[in-house]
Structure formats: structure tokens, C-alpha cells
């Protein structure tokens, strides 16, 4: 099976506006790597010498856990060169860094200023949902607890409270958001 690395890069926000010739040069120096479920992709302190594009699967950013399928590693020098020559790529990178900084700042602020049930509500609201309100992909209570910064038992109590109020429905390990506005109001979120 041949993987269209140039096509993968073209679909990223960072490199989507890069001219074809430049994109092909970046694709030529990039390499595909497969990872097993649970395999560590990188750890704190590793050199930041590559841009990582998740091709398939998912990656969980935690202290010592990763869950992914196949990743594309683009060398730092190639990204630096493209950003120097293509202003739109440099702007896309700056925008991505700023968005991550905002997200991390908000997460730290939530840990300081919000109680656990409100953090759980914000995490639920931040998950992708179908038109039917079902959060996809499913999250275990352990995953939800990690994102909200609490214990699984405390998260379970918050979920039961939300369910009693009719804001969510928990069935077969899936969560359906029934009243997003009420949940957002509770969380102090202006979504």
C-alpha cells in the first residue's frame, strides 16, 4: 500500500497553503511510523525536532501513555524552511500555537477556579458530538477524570447529578448531551 504523504500534508492547516513543489520536498524528507496502542510516542524533555501529523488512530497526551495508529514525522528543518518561504504556513503555525496556548491557559484557570462538577461539564461540552448529542468517540470515566483533573468516583457523582437534572443521559458507556445550554450555563461557559 502506498501512502500519499503529499496529500496528507496538504490536508493539514499548517501546510495546506504551501505550493505543490515545496510540499513535495517536505514529503520527501518526512517518514511514516506506526505505533502500537499504548506505545509512547515522545516524552517530556525529548528534542522538538519534528512536526507530528496523526494520519490514523488517535494520540492521547498524558504523562506516560499514548494511543495512536500511524504518524507522519516532518523534520524541524523542513518546517522552518517552509515557514521562512511561505508566510501563510508561518501564520498557520502561529495560529496553532496561539490556540494551544489559549486552551492550556483556560485549562489551568479551570483547575484553579472551578469545582470538579463544573470542570466535568466543560469537558463534556468540549467533546465532539453527533447531531443526536452523543459524544463520539466514547470516553471512559477514567479518561473524563483525567481531563477534568479529578477521580473517577467524583466524575461519576457529577455525571449522575447531571443526569438527574436531565442535562445528559448515560447509557451503555456513552454520554448524550441533552441540554447543552443548561450544562454550559452551569459551567459558566459562554458557548
pLDDT < 50 positions in the chain: 63-66, 191
Q: Can you give the pLDDT at residue 64?
A: 44
pLDDT digits (tens, 9 = 90+) for 137-147: 888 888 888 88
CB–CB of 32/55 below 8 Å? yes
- Domains, the chain, ranges and CATH? 5-104 (2.60.120.10), 114-187 (1.10.10.10)
Mean confidence (pLDDT) of the chain? 86
Q: Exposure string (b/e) for 152-182, b if CB count within 10 Å is 16 or more?
A: eebbbebbeebbeeebbeeeeeebebeebeb
pLDDT digits (tens, 9 = 90+) for 21-43: 999 999 999 999 888 888 888 77
CA atoms of 131 and 133, how far apart (whole Å)? 5
Q: Is the pTM of this model over 0.85?
A: no
Amino acid at each position: 500500500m502506498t501512502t500519499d504523504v503529499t496529500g496528507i500534508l496538504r490536508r493539514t492547516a499548517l501546510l495546506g497553503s504551501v505550493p505543490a513543489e515545496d510540499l513535495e520536498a517536505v514529503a520527501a524528507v518526512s517518514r511514516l511510523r506506526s505505533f502500537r496502542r499504548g506505545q509512547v510516542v515522545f516524552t517530556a524533555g525529548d528534542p522538538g525536532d519534528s512536526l507530528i501529523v496523526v494520519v490514523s488512530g488517535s494520540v492521547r497526551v498524558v504523562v506516560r501513555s499514548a494511543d495512536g495508529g500511524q504518524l507522519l514525522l516532518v523534520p524541524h528543518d523542513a518546517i522552518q524552511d517552509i515557514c521562512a518561504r511561505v508566510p501563510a504556513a508561518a501564520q498557520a503555525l502561529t495560529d496553532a500555537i496561539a490556540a494551544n496556548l489559549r486552551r492550556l491557559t483556560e485549562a489551568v484557570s479551570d483547575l484553579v477556579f472551578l469545582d470538579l462538577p463544573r470542570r466535568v461539564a466543560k469537558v463534556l461540552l468540549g467533546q465532539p458530538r453527533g447531531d443526536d448529542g452523543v459524544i463520539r468517540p466514547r470516553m471512559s470515566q477514567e479518561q473524563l477524570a483525567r481531563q477534568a483533573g479529578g477521580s473517577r468516583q467524583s466524575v461519576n457523582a457529577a455525571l449522575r447529578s447531571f443526569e438527574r437534572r436531565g442535562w445528559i443521559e448515560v447509557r451503555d458507556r456513552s454520554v448524550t448531551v441533552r441540554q447543552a445550554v443548561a450544562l454550559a450555563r452551569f459551567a459558566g461557559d459562554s458557548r
